[in-house]
Chains A and B, each alone.
Chain A
Protein backbone atom coordinates (compact mmCIF):
# COMPACT_ATOMS: atom_id res chain seq x y z
CA UNK A 1 0.00 0.00 0.00
CA UNK A 2 3.01 2.32 0.17
CA UNK A 3 2.81 2.52 -3.58
CA UNK A 4 -0.69 3.92 -3.31
CA UNK A 5 0.31 6.73 -0.97
CA UNK A 6 3.03 8.03 -3.24
CA UNK A 7 0.69 7.88 -6.18
CA UNK A 8 -1.82 9.89 -4.20
CA UNK A 9 0.33 12.99 -4.34
CA UNK A 10 1.37 13.29 -7.94
CA UNK A 11 1.55 17.08 -7.63
CA UNK A 12 4.53 17.12 -5.28
CA UNK A 13 7.45 16.26 -7.60
CA UNK A 14 5.84 18.09 -10.49
CA UNK A 15 5.48 21.25 -8.42
CA UNK A 16 9.08 21.09 -7.30
CA UNK A 17 10.23 20.77 -10.86
CA UNK A 18 7.98 23.62 -11.94
CA UNK A 19 9.40 25.88 -9.23
CA UNK A 20 13.04 24.96 -9.84
CA UNK A 21 13.27 24.98 -13.57
CA UNK A 22 11.75 28.31 -14.60
CA UNK A 23 14.12 30.23 -12.33
CA UNK A 24 17.17 28.84 -14.08
CA UNK A 25 15.59 29.15 -17.51
CA UNK A 26 14.56 32.71 -16.72
CA UNK A 27 18.12 33.65 -15.84
CA UNK A 28 19.38 32.07 -19.05
CA UNK A 29 16.67 33.87 -21.03
CA UNK A 30 17.70 37.22 -19.52
CA UNK A 31 21.36 36.56 -20.23
CA UNK A 32 20.45 35.81 -23.84
CA UNK A 33 18.47 39.05 -24.21
CA UNK A 34 21.23 41.17 -22.68
CA UNK A 35 23.83 39.49 -24.90
CA UNK A 36 21.65 40.08 -27.94
CA UNK A 37 21.28 43.77 -27.12
CA UNK A 38 25.04 44.07 -26.63
CA UNK A 39 25.76 42.50 -30.01
CA UNK A 40 23.16 44.77 -31.60
CA UNK A 41 24.71 47.91 -29.97
CA UNK A 42 28.14 46.76 -31.07
CA UNK A 43 27.03 46.25 -34.67
CA UNK A 44 25.30 49.65 -34.71
CA UNK A 45 28.28 51.52 -33.23
CA UNK A 46 30.90 49.97 -35.51
CA UNK A 47 28.70 51.33 -38.24
CA UNK A 48 26.60 48.75 -40.04
CA UNK A 49 24.86 50.81 -42.72
CA UNK A 50 21.99 52.81 -41.16
CA UNK A 51 21.42 50.39 -38.28
CA UNK A 52 19.94 52.25 -35.29
CA UNK A 53 21.15 51.42 -31.77
CA UNK A 54 18.73 49.90 -29.25
CA UNK A 55 18.58 53.31 -27.53
CA UNK A 56 17.49 55.02 -30.74
CA UNK A 57 14.83 52.38 -31.28
CA UNK A 58 13.63 52.77 -27.69
CA UNK A 59 13.44 56.54 -28.15
CA UNK A 60 11.44 56.05 -31.33
CA UNK A 61 9.13 53.64 -29.55
CA UNK A 62 8.59 56.25 -26.82
CA UNK A 63 7.71 58.79 -29.48
CA UNK A 64 5.26 56.47 -31.23
CA UNK A 65 3.65 55.52 -27.95
CA UNK A 66 3.36 59.16 -26.88
CA UNK A 67 1.58 60.34 -30.03
CA UNK A 68 -0.68 57.26 -29.98
CA UNK A 69 0.39 55.89 -33.36
CA UNK A 70 1.75 52.63 -31.98
CA UNK A 71 -1.36 51.90 -29.96
CA UNK A 72 -3.60 52.78 -32.88
CA UNK A 73 -1.60 50.60 -35.28
CA UNK A 74 -1.46 47.70 -32.87
CA UNK A 75 -5.20 47.88 -32.23
CA UNK A 76 -5.92 48.02 -35.94
CA UNK A 77 -3.79 44.95 -36.55
CA UNK A 78 -5.19 43.06 -33.57
CA UNK A 79 -8.76 43.82 -34.56
CA UNK A 80 -8.21 42.35 -38.00
CA UNK A 81 -6.40 39.31 -36.77
CA UNK A 82 -8.87 38.52 -34.02
CA UNK A 83 -11.86 38.98 -36.29
CA UNK A 84 -10.42 36.73 -38.99
CA UNK A 85 -9.08 34.23 -36.50
CA UNK A 86 -12.35 33.90 -34.59
CA UNK A 87 -14.43 33.50 -37.72
CA UNK A 88 -11.91 31.03 -39.13
CA UNK A 89 -11.74 28.77 -36.10
CA UNK A 90 -15.45 29.02 -35.34
CA UNK A 91 -16.17 27.68 -38.80
CA UNK A 92 -13.27 25.23 -38.76
CA UNK A 93 -14.38 23.36 -35.67
CA UNK A 94 -17.81 22.24 -36.93
CA UNK A 95 -16.44 21.59 -40.41
CA UNK A 96 -13.55 19.56 -38.96
CA UNK A 97 -15.99 17.55 -36.84
CA UNK A 98 -18.23 16.93 -39.85
CA UNK A 99 -15.27 15.72 -41.86
CA UNK A 100 -14.02 13.45 -39.11
CA UNK A 101 -17.41 11.99 -38.23
CA UNK A 102 -19.18 11.59 -41.56
CA UNK A 103 -17.38 9.88 -44.43
CA UNK A 104 -19.62 11.74 -46.89
CA UNK A 105 -18.67 15.17 -45.57
CA UNK A 106 -15.06 14.10 -45.60
CA UNK A 107 -15.22 12.92 -49.20
CA UNK A 108 -16.86 16.15 -50.31
CA UNK A 109 -14.70 18.62 -48.40
CA UNK A 110 -11.29 17.04 -48.18
CA UNK A 111 -10.12 17.81 -51.75
CA UNK A 112 -10.79 21.53 -51.23
CA UNK A 113 -9.24 21.67 -47.80
CA UNK A 114 -6.14 19.80 -48.90
CA UNK A 115 -5.81 21.88 -52.06
CA UNK A 116 -6.21 25.30 -50.47
CA UNK A 117 -3.92 24.27 -47.66
CA UNK A 118 -1.05 24.00 -50.10
CA UNK A 119 -1.56 27.60 -51.27
CA UNK A 120 0.12 30.07 -48.91
CA UNK A 121 -2.66 32.49 -47.82
CA UNK A 122 -0.50 35.39 -49.01
CA UNK A 123 -0.85 34.14 -52.56
CA UNK A 124 -4.59 34.75 -52.26
CA UNK A 125 -4.07 38.46 -51.61
CA UNK A 126 -3.98 39.61 -55.25
CA UNK A 127 -7.19 37.72 -55.92
CA UNK A 128 -8.80 39.03 -52.76
CA UNK A 129 -7.92 42.61 -53.65
CA UNK A 130 -9.33 42.30 -57.14
CA UNK A 131 -12.54 40.67 -55.95
CA UNK A 132 -13.05 42.42 -52.61
CA UNK A 133 -11.38 45.79 -53.05
CA UNK A 134 -8.74 47.28 -50.76
CA UNK A 135 -10.81 47.85 -47.62
CA UNK A 136 -10.90 45.74 -44.50
CA UNK A 137 -12.73 42.84 -46.12
CA UNK A 138 -9.92 41.30 -48.19
CA UNK A 139 -7.46 41.45 -45.26
CA UNK A 140 -9.87 39.87 -42.81
CA UNK A 141 -10.79 37.33 -45.45
CA UNK A 142 -7.21 36.24 -46.02
CA UNK A 143 -6.65 35.91 -42.27
CA UNK A 144 -9.89 34.01 -41.94
CA UNK A 145 -8.71 31.61 -44.62
CA UNK A 146 -5.32 31.10 -42.98
CA UNK A 147 -6.88 30.40 -39.58
CA UNK A 148 -9.63 28.23 -41.01
CA UNK A 149 -7.36 25.96 -43.01
CA UNK A 150 -4.93 25.17 -40.25
CA UNK A 151 -7.67 24.64 -37.65
CA UNK A 152 -9.87 22.52 -39.85
CA UNK A 153 -7.15 20.00 -40.60
CA UNK A 154 -6.18 19.47 -36.98
CA UNK A 155 -9.78 19.25 -35.77
CA UNK A 156 -10.49 16.68 -38.44
CA UNK A 157 -7.33 14.75 -37.55
CA UNK A 158 -8.28 14.87 -33.89
CA UNK A 159 -11.70 13.35 -34.55
CA UNK A 160 -10.26 10.64 -36.80
CA UNK A 161 -7.64 9.73 -34.20
CA UNK A 162 -10.02 9.28 -31.27
CA UNK A 163 -9.17 5.96 -29.63
CA UNK A 164 -11.69 3.39 -30.86
CA UNK A 165 -11.67 1.58 -27.50
CA UNK A 166 -12.99 4.71 -25.82
CA UNK A 167 -15.83 4.87 -28.30
CA UNK A 168 -16.53 1.17 -27.70
CA UNK A 169 -16.39 1.68 -23.94
CA UNK A 170 -19.08 4.37 -24.23
CA UNK A 171 -21.10 2.25 -26.61
CA UNK A 172 -21.27 -0.79 -24.32
CA UNK A 173 -22.43 1.50 -21.50
CA UNK A 174 -25.40 2.35 -23.69
CA UNK A 175 -24.29 5.65 -25.25
CA UNK A 176 -26.07 6.84 -28.40
CA UNK A 177 -24.12 8.29 -31.33
CA UNK A 178 -25.03 11.76 -30.09
CA UNK A 179 -23.70 11.07 -26.60
CA UNK A 180 -20.57 9.48 -27.99
CA UNK A 181 -19.97 12.55 -30.09
CA UNK A 182 -20.54 15.05 -27.28
CA UNK A 183 -19.03 13.13 -24.38
CA UNK A 184 -16.20 11.23 -26.03
CA UNK A 185 -15.24 12.63 -29.42
CA UNK A 186 -15.35 16.29 -28.44
CA UNK A 187 -13.25 16.00 -25.27
CA UNK A 188 -10.86 13.50 -26.85
CA UNK A 189 -10.13 15.82 -29.77
CA UNK A 190 -9.85 19.03 -27.75
CA UNK A 191 -6.04 18.84 -27.55
CA UNK A 192 -5.82 18.61 -31.33
CA UNK A 193 -8.23 21.51 -31.79
CA UNK A 194 -6.24 23.72 -29.46
CA UNK A 195 -2.98 22.89 -31.20
CA UNK A 196 -4.68 23.73 -34.49
CA UNK A 197 -5.87 27.03 -33.07
CA UNK A 198 -2.36 27.94 -32.03
CA UNK A 199 -0.96 27.10 -35.44
CA UNK A 200 -3.89 29.01 -36.96
CA UNK A 201 -3.24 32.09 -34.86
CA UNK A 202 0.43 32.04 -35.78
CA UNK A 203 -0.28 31.82 -39.46
CA UNK A 204 -3.07 34.44 -39.20
CA UNK A 205 -0.74 36.90 -37.52
CA UNK A 206 1.99 36.38 -40.11
CA UNK A 207 -0.47 36.73 -42.94
CA UNK A 208 -1.98 39.88 -41.50
CA UNK A 209 1.25 41.82 -41.29
CA UNK A 210 2.07 40.86 -44.85
CA UNK A 211 -1.40 41.85 -46.00
CA UNK A 212 -0.98 45.27 -44.39
CA UNK A 213 2.31 45.76 -46.19
CA UNK A 214 0.42 45.67 -49.44
CA UNK A 215 -2.61 47.82 -48.83
CA UNK A 216 -3.77 49.54 -45.66
CA UNK A 217 -4.30 52.92 -44.03
CA UNK A 218 -3.24 51.87 -40.56
CA UNK A 219 -1.73 48.87 -38.80
CA UNK A 220 1.74 47.68 -37.87
CA UNK A 221 2.51 46.40 -41.35
CA UNK A 222 1.34 49.65 -42.92
CA UNK A 223 3.50 51.71 -40.53
CA UNK A 224 6.58 49.70 -41.48
CA UNK A 225 5.79 50.05 -45.14
CA UNK A 226 5.59 53.87 -44.70
CA UNK A 227 8.83 53.89 -42.72
CA UNK A 228 10.53 52.00 -45.51
CA UNK A 229 9.67 54.84 -47.94
CA UNK A 230 11.44 57.34 -45.64
CA UNK A 231 14.32 55.03 -44.80
CA UNK A 232 13.20 55.20 -41.16
CA UNK A 233 14.85 52.08 -39.77
CA UNK A 234 13.99 52.85 -36.13
CA UNK A 235 10.26 52.76 -36.87
CA UNK A 236 10.71 49.50 -38.77
CA UNK A 237 12.43 48.02 -35.72
CA UNK A 238 9.69 49.26 -33.41
CA UNK A 239 7.14 47.63 -35.72
CA UNK A 240 9.03 44.35 -35.83
CA UNK A 241 9.38 44.20 -32.06
CA UNK A 242 5.71 45.06 -31.55
CA UNK A 243 4.68 42.30 -33.97
CA UNK A 244 6.90 39.80 -32.19
CA UNK A 245 5.74 40.73 -28.70
CA UNK A 246 2.05 40.70 -29.61
CA UNK A 247 2.39 37.39 -31.45
CA UNK A 248 4.16 35.87 -28.48
CA UNK A 249 1.55 37.16 -26.04
CA UNK A 250 -1.32 35.73 -28.06
CA UNK A 251 0.46 32.39 -28.38
CA UNK A 252 1.11 32.24 -24.64
CA UNK A 253 -2.54 33.00 -23.89
CA UNK A 254 -3.67 30.13 -26.06
CA UNK A 255 -1.01 27.87 -24.58
CA UNK A 256 -2.37 28.70 -21.14
CA UNK A 257 -5.89 27.83 -22.26
CA UNK A 258 -4.56 24.62 -23.77
CA UNK A 259 -2.84 23.60 -20.52
CA UNK A 260 -6.00 24.36 -18.58
CA UNK A 261 -8.32 22.43 -20.85
CA UNK A 262 -6.11 19.40 -21.47
CA UNK A 263 -4.62 18.95 -18.04
CA UNK A 264 -5.87 15.36 -18.08
CA UNK A 265 -3.47 14.30 -20.84
CA UNK A 266 -0.59 12.03 -19.97
CA UNK A 267 2.53 13.99 -20.83
CA UNK A 268 5.88 12.36 -21.25
Chain B
Protein backbone atom coordinates (compact mmCIF):
# COMPACT_ATOMS: atom_id res chain seq x y z
CA UNK B 1 0.00 0.00 0.00
CA UNK B 2 1.36 3.42 -0.96
CA UNK B 3 1.28 6.14 1.60
CA UNK B 4 -0.70 9.12 0.33
CA UNK B 5 0.41 11.27 3.24
CA UNK B 6 3.42 10.50 5.37
CA UNK B 7 4.46 12.33 8.49
CA UNK B 8 8.11 11.50 9.14
CA UNK B 9 9.43 12.16 12.61
CA UNK B 10 7.61 15.49 12.93
CA UNK B 11 8.62 17.89 15.67
CA UNK B 12 6.87 21.22 16.07
CA UNK B 13 7.96 23.65 18.74
CA UNK B 14 6.82 27.18 19.46
CA UNK B 15 9.13 29.65 21.17
CA UNK B 16 7.81 30.74 24.55
CA UNK B 17 8.92 33.24 27.16
CA UNK B 18 10.53 30.45 29.16
CA UNK B 19 12.09 28.13 26.58
CA UNK B 20 10.08 26.30 23.93
CA UNK B 21 6.67 24.66 23.84
CA UNK B 22 6.63 21.27 22.12
CA UNK B 23 3.35 20.95 20.26
CA UNK B 24 4.33 17.76 18.40
CA UNK B 25 7.06 15.43 19.59
CA UNK B 26 8.48 13.04 16.97
CA UNK B 27 5.23 12.09 15.31
CA UNK B 28 5.40 9.53 12.51
CA UNK B 29 2.29 8.42 10.70
CA UNK B 30 1.43 7.04 7.28
CA UNK B 31 -1.99 7.47 5.77
CA UNK B 32 -2.55 5.09 2.87
CA UNK B 33 -4.02 6.14 -0.44
CA UNK B 34 -7.84 6.05 -0.18
CA UNK B 35 -7.72 5.36 3.50
CA UNK B 36 -10.10 6.91 5.99
CA UNK B 37 -8.39 7.74 9.27
CA UNK B 38 -9.78 9.66 12.19
CA UNK B 39 -7.69 11.46 14.78
CA UNK B 40 -8.82 11.82 18.38
CA UNK B 41 -7.07 13.19 21.41
CA UNK B 42 -7.38 15.74 24.19
CA UNK B 43 -7.64 19.42 23.37
CA UNK B 44 -4.27 20.93 22.56
CA UNK B 45 -2.55 17.67 21.62
CA UNK B 46 -1.66 19.01 18.17
CA UNK B 47 -4.36 17.52 15.94
CA UNK B 48 -5.00 20.75 14.04
CA UNK B 49 -1.28 21.44 13.80
CA UNK B 50 -0.63 18.03 12.26
CA UNK B 51 -3.43 18.49 9.75
CA UNK B 52 -2.31 21.95 8.80
CA UNK B 53 1.09 20.49 7.92
CA UNK B 54 -0.57 18.06 5.51
CA UNK B 55 -2.45 21.02 4.06
CA UNK B 56 0.87 22.80 3.52
CA UNK B 57 -0.04 25.73 5.77
CA UNK B 58 2.36 24.99 8.63
CA UNK B 59 5.98 23.88 8.42
CA UNK B 60 7.36 21.35 10.88
CA UNK B 61 10.31 22.45 13.00
CA UNK B 62 12.01 19.22 11.99
CA UNK B 63 10.99 16.09 10.13
CA UNK B 64 9.09 16.08 6.87
CA UNK B 65 5.64 15.70 5.44
CA UNK B 66 5.30 13.81 2.16
CA UNK B 67 2.34 13.79 -0.16
CA UNK B 68 2.55 11.06 -2.80
CA UNK B 69 6.13 10.52 -1.74
CA UNK B 70 7.27 14.10 -2.36
CA UNK B 71 7.65 16.90 0.20
CA UNK B 72 4.45 18.97 0.51
CA UNK B 73 4.61 21.68 -2.12
CA UNK B 74 2.51 24.09 -0.04
CA UNK B 75 -1.27 24.39 -0.06
CA UNK B 76 -3.17 23.27 -3.16
CA UNK B 77 -6.64 22.30 -4.31
CA UNK B 78 -5.69 18.60 -4.43
CA UNK B 79 -6.02 18.64 -0.64
CA UNK B 80 -9.32 20.10 0.51
CA UNK B 81 -9.43 21.51 4.03
CA UNK B 82 -12.37 22.09 6.30
CA UNK B 83 -11.23 24.38 9.07
CA UNK B 84 -12.27 24.12 12.66
CA UNK B 85 -13.37 27.80 12.51
CA UNK B 86 -15.52 27.48 9.33
CA UNK B 87 -13.52 30.23 7.58
CA UNK B 88 -16.35 31.28 5.27
CA UNK B 89 -15.91 34.51 3.35
CA UNK B 90 -18.47 36.69 5.12
CA UNK B 91 -19.05 38.98 2.13
CA UNK B 92 -20.03 36.09 -0.17
CA UNK B 93 -23.32 34.20 -0.21
CA UNK B 94 -23.34 30.45 0.41
CA UNK B 95 -23.32 29.84 -3.34
CA UNK B 96 -20.46 32.27 -3.98
CA UNK B 97 -18.47 30.71 -1.15
CA UNK B 98 -18.91 27.27 -2.68
CA UNK B 99 -18.02 28.60 -6.13
CA UNK B 100 -14.82 30.27 -4.89
CA UNK B 101 -12.62 27.24 -5.46
CA UNK B 102 -14.45 26.28 -8.66
CA UNK B 103 -13.73 29.72 -10.16
CA UNK B 104 -10.04 29.19 -9.54
CA UNK B 105 -10.25 25.98 -11.59
CA UNK B 106 -11.41 27.93 -14.64
CA UNK B 107 -14.43 25.72 -15.20
CA UNK B 108 -17.03 26.84 -17.71
CA UNK B 109 -19.80 28.78 -15.90
CA UNK B 110 -22.58 26.20 -16.21
CA UNK B 111 -20.31 23.37 -15.07
CA UNK B 112 -19.34 25.55 -12.14
CA UNK B 113 -22.93 26.32 -11.27
CA UNK B 114 -23.88 22.65 -11.55
CA UNK B 115 -21.13 21.47 -9.22
CA UNK B 116 -21.85 24.19 -6.67
CA UNK B 117 -25.54 23.37 -6.78
CA UNK B 118 -24.76 19.69 -6.23
CA UNK B 119 -22.46 20.33 -3.26
CA UNK B 120 -24.97 22.71 -1.67
CA UNK B 121 -27.72 20.17 -2.08
CA UNK B 122 -25.57 17.46 -0.56
CA UNK B 123 -25.28 19.40 2.70
CA UNK B 124 -28.93 20.45 2.62
CA UNK B 125 -28.44 24.18 2.15
CA UNK B 126 -30.32 24.63 -1.14
CA UNK B 127 -32.87 26.95 0.46
CA UNK B 128 -30.10 29.17 1.73
CA UNK B 129 -27.89 29.31 -1.35
CA UNK B 130 -28.19 33.08 -1.57
CA UNK B 131 -27.93 33.82 2.14
CA UNK B 132 -24.93 35.58 3.64
CA UNK B 133 -22.95 33.67 6.31
CA UNK B 134 -24.02 36.12 9.02
CA UNK B 135 -27.58 34.87 8.69
CA UNK B 136 -26.62 31.20 9.15
CA UNK B 137 -26.48 29.18 12.37
CA UNK B 138 -23.20 27.57 13.43
CA UNK B 139 -24.19 24.20 12.00
CA UNK B 140 -25.25 25.77 8.70
CA UNK B 141 -21.96 27.62 8.43
CA UNK B 142 -20.16 24.36 8.97
CA UNK B 143 -22.21 22.68 6.26
CA UNK B 144 -21.41 25.52 3.89
CA UNK B 145 -17.69 25.04 4.60
CA UNK B 146 -18.10 21.33 3.89
CA UNK B 147 -19.83 22.05 0.58
CA UNK B 148 -17.04 24.44 -0.39
CA UNK B 149 -14.43 21.72 0.17
CA UNK B 150 -16.48 18.97 -1.52
CA UNK B 151 -17.16 21.08 -4.58
CA UNK B 152 -13.58 21.13 -5.86
CA UNK B 153 -13.46 17.34 -5.49
CA UNK B 154 -10.01 17.04 -3.92
CA UNK B 155 -8.10 13.73 -3.73
CA UNK B 156 -7.45 14.29 -0.06
CA UNK B 157 -9.94 15.68 2.43
CA UNK B 158 -8.52 17.17 5.62
CA UNK B 159 -11.39 17.74 7.99
CA UNK B 160 -10.94 19.46 11.35
CA UNK B 161 -13.94 18.63 13.54
CA UNK B 162 -16.26 19.31 10.63
CA UNK B 163 -19.38 17.98 12.34
CA UNK B 164 -18.65 19.49 15.74
CA UNK B 165 -21.37 22.14 15.69
CA UNK B 166 -24.11 19.98 14.21
CA UNK B 167 -27.17 18.52 15.88
CA UNK B 168 -27.18 14.73 16.30
CA UNK B 169 -29.48 14.08 13.36
CA UNK B 170 -27.64 16.19 10.79
CA UNK B 171 -24.40 14.81 12.10
CA UNK B 172 -25.42 11.22 11.43
CA UNK B 173 -26.76 12.19 8.00
CA UNK B 174 -23.53 13.88 7.04
CA UNK B 175 -21.45 11.00 8.39
CA UNK B 176 -23.33 8.59 6.16
CA UNK B 177 -23.08 10.95 3.21
CA UNK B 178 -19.37 11.33 3.76
CA UNK B 179 -18.86 7.55 3.88
CA UNK B 180 -21.05 7.21 0.84
CA UNK B 181 -19.08 9.65 -1.32
CA UNK B 182 -15.85 8.30 0.08
CA UNK B 183 -16.64 4.72 -0.93
CA UNK B 184 -17.74 5.88 -4.38
CA UNK B 185 -14.91 8.27 -5.09
CA UNK B 186 -12.31 6.84 -2.74
CA UNK B 187 -10.61 9.93 -1.52
CA UNK B 188 -8.06 9.85 1.25
CA UNK B 189 -9.61 11.33 4.37
CA UNK B 190 -7.98 12.60 7.55
CA UNK B 191 -10.74 13.49 9.94
CA UNK B 192 -10.29 15.08 13.36
CA UNK B 193 -13.00 14.67 15.94
CA UNK B 194 -13.67 14.86 19.65
CA UNK B 195 -16.37 12.26 19.38
CA UNK B 196 -15.12 8.71 19.97
CA UNK B 197 -18.27 7.19 18.46
CA UNK B 198 -17.83 9.20 15.30
CA UNK B 199 -14.14 8.30 15.14
CA UNK B 200 -14.87 4.59 15.24
CA UNK B 201 -17.90 4.71 12.95
CA UNK B 202 -16.05 6.46 10.12
CA UNK B 203 -12.51 5.15 10.19
CA UNK B 204 -10.52 2.15 9.18
CA UNK B 205 -7.94 3.31 11.70
CA UNK B 206 -8.30 5.64 14.66
CA UNK B 207 -5.20 7.60 15.60
CA UNK B 208 -5.25 8.34 19.31
CA UNK B 209 -3.02 11.25 20.28
CA UNK B 210 -1.75 12.34 23.66
CA UNK B 211 -0.90 15.83 24.87
CA UNK B 212 2.06 17.55 26.49
CA UNK B 213 3.95 16.86 24.39
CA UNK B 214 1.67 16.04 21.45
CA UNK B 215 2.37 12.54 20.17
CA UNK B 216 0.68 9.46 18.75
CA UNK B 217 -0.40 7.39 21.71
CA UNK B 218 -2.01 4.43 20.02
CA UNK B 219 -3.46 3.36 16.70
CA UNK B 220 -6.66 1.37 16.84
CA UNK B 221 -7.70 -0.71 13.83
CA UNK B 222 -11.41 -0.80 13.16
CA UNK B 223 -12.08 -4.19 11.61
CA UNK B 224 -15.63 -3.48 10.60
CA UNK B 225 -16.55 -3.81 6.92
CA UNK B 226 -17.74 -0.92 4.79
CA UNK B 227 -20.42 0.17 4.15
CA UNK B 228 -20.97 0.91 7.80
CA UNK B 229 -24.55 0.70 8.97
CA UNK B 230 -26.52 2.01 11.92
CA UNK B 231 -26.81 -1.59 13.24
CA UNK B 232 -23.03 -1.80 13.47
CA UNK B 233 -23.07 1.01 15.99
CA UNK B 234 -24.94 -1.34 18.29
CA UNK B 235 -22.74 -4.38 17.70
CA UNK B 236 -20.51 -5.78 20.47
CA UNK B 237 -17.49 -5.40 18.21
CA UNK B 238 -18.20 -1.69 17.82
CA UNK B 239 -18.56 -1.34 21.59
CA UNK B 240 -15.27 -3.12 22.14
CA UNK B 241 -13.38 -0.86 19.73
CA UNK B 242 -15.03 2.24 21.11
CA UNK B 243 -13.94 1.21 24.61
CA UNK B 244 -10.40 0.73 23.45
CA UNK B 245 -10.30 4.19 21.87
CA UNK B 246 -12.05 5.71 24.86
CA UNK B 247 -9.50 4.15 27.17
CA UNK B 248 -6.67 5.38 24.96
CA UNK B 249 -7.97 8.96 25.08
CA UNK B 250 -9.03 9.24 28.70
CA UNK B 251 -6.58 7.04 30.55
CA UNK B 252 -3.36 8.30 29.15
CA UNK B 253 -0.17 7.64 31.09
CA UNK B 254 1.78 10.77 31.91
CA UNK B 255 4.63 11.49 29.54
CA UNK B 256 8.11 10.83 30.85
Residues of A within 8 A of B (CB): 3-4, 7-8, 10, 163, 165-166, 168-175, 179, 183-184, 187-188, 190, 263-266
* Chain B min CB distance to A2 (Å): 12
Contacts of B76 in A (CB 8 A): 172, 174
Q: Please, how many angstroms separate the alpha-carbon atoms of A175 and B76 in the complex?
A: 8
Residue in B92, B104, B136 whose CB lies within 8 Å of A179: B104
Check A266–B134 contact: CB distance below 8 A: yes
* Chain B min CB distance to A43 (Å): 49
Q: Which of B13-21, B32-40, B79-87, B242-250 contacts A (4 or more CB under 8 A)?
A: B79-87
Check B89–A169 contact: CB distance below 8 A: yes
User: Which residue of chain B has the shortest Cβ distance to A186 in the bound complex?
Assistant: B91
Known A-B contacts A8-B127, A168-B83; A184 and B89 likewise in contact (beta carbons under 8 Å): yes
Q: Is B183 an interface residue (CB 8 A)?
A: no
Which secondary structure dominates chain B's binding surface?
A: loop
Q: Which 10 pairs of residues, A with B, have the shortest CB-CB distance?
A: A173-B101, A174-B77, A169-B87, A264-B91, A165-B87, A172-B81, A171-B75, A10-B135, A266-B134, A172-B75
Q: Please, how many angstroms separate the alpha-carbon atoms of A175 and B104 in the complex?
A: 7
Residues of B within 8 A of A (CB): 55-57, 75-77, 79-81, 83, 85, 87-92, 100-101, 104-105, 127-128, 131-137, 140, 148, 152
Residue in A10, A173, A190, A265 whose CB lies within 8 Å of B77: A173
Contacts of A173 in B (CB 8 A): 77, 80, 100-101, 104, 148, 152
* Chain A min CB distance to B107 (Å): 12
Known A-B contacts A8-B127, A166-B89; A171 and B136 likewise in contact (beta carbons under 8 Å): no
Q: Please, how many angstroms separate the alpha-carbon atoms of A236 and B97 in the complex?
A: 55
Contacts of B132 in A (CB 8 A): 263-264
* Chain A min CB distance to B34 (Å): 20
* Chain B min CB distance to A121 (Å): 33
